Amino acid sequence: APTTSLKIAVIPGDGIGTEVMPYGIRCLQAVAQAFNISLNFTAFNFASCEYYQKHGDMLPMDWKETLVKFDAIYFGAVGMPDVVPDNVSLWGSLLKFRREFDQYINLRPCRLMPGVRCPLIDRKPGDIDFWIVRENTEGEYSNIGGKIFEGTDRETVIQETVMTKTGVDRVLRYAFSLAQHRPRKHLTSATKSNGISITMPYWDERVHDISLSYPEVRVDKYHIDILTAHFVQKPDIFDVVVGSNLFGDILSDLGPACTGTIGIAPSGNINPDRTFPSLFEPVHGSAPDIAGKGIANPVGMIWAGQMMLQHFGYFDAASLMLQAIEAVLARGDTEVLTIDMGGKGTTQSLGEAIEKEIQAFT
Expressed in percent and rounded to 5, the helix, strand and coil fractions of the chain are: 40, 20, 40
Of 28 and 37, which has the nearer Cβ to ligand NAI? Answer: 28
The residue type found at 340 is D
Question: 221 - beta bridge partners?
Answer: 189
Q: How far is the CB of 253 from Mg ion (least distance, A)?
A: 5
CA distances from 341 to 26, 126, 335 (A): 21, 19, 11
Question: 109 - beta bridge partners?
Answer: 131
- Please enumerate in sequence order all residues whose Cβ is within 8 A of that of 73, keeping only pairs 6 or more positions apart, or say none: 8, 9, 11, 67, 97, 277, 278, 279, 280
Report the C-alpha gap between 290 and 100 in whole angstroms: 32
Of 253 and 333, which has the nearer Cβ to Mg ion? Answer: 253
- Residue 297 binds ligand NAI, judged by CB under 6 A: yes
Site size for ligand NAI, by CB under 6 A? 23
Candidate segments 76-84, 133-141, 202-210, 320-328, binder of ligand NAI by CB under 6 A? 76-84
Candidate segments 95-103, 183-191, 288-296, 323-331, binder of ligand NAI by CB under 6 A? 288-296
Report the C-alpha gap between 200 and 203 in whole angstroms: 5
Question: 110 - beta bridge partners?
Answer: 130
Of 146 and 342, which has the nearer Cβ to ligand NAI? Answer: 342
Q: How far is the CB of 82 from ligand NAI (least distance, A)?
A: 9
Q: Give the number of other Cβ atoms within 10 Å of residue 62's Cβ.
A: 8
Residues 256-285 that bind ligand NAI (CB under 6 A): 262-263, 281, 284-285
- Residue 77 binds ligand NAI, judged by CB under 6 A: yes
- Residue 108 binds ligand NAI, judged by CB under 6 A: no
Site string for Mg ion, 220-249 (x = CB under 5 A): -----------------------------x
**Interface residue list for Mg ion (CB under 5 A):** 249, 253
**Interface residue list for ligand NAI (CB under 6 A):** 16, 77-79, 81, 86, 90, 94, 262-263, 281, 284-290, 296-297, 300, 338, 340
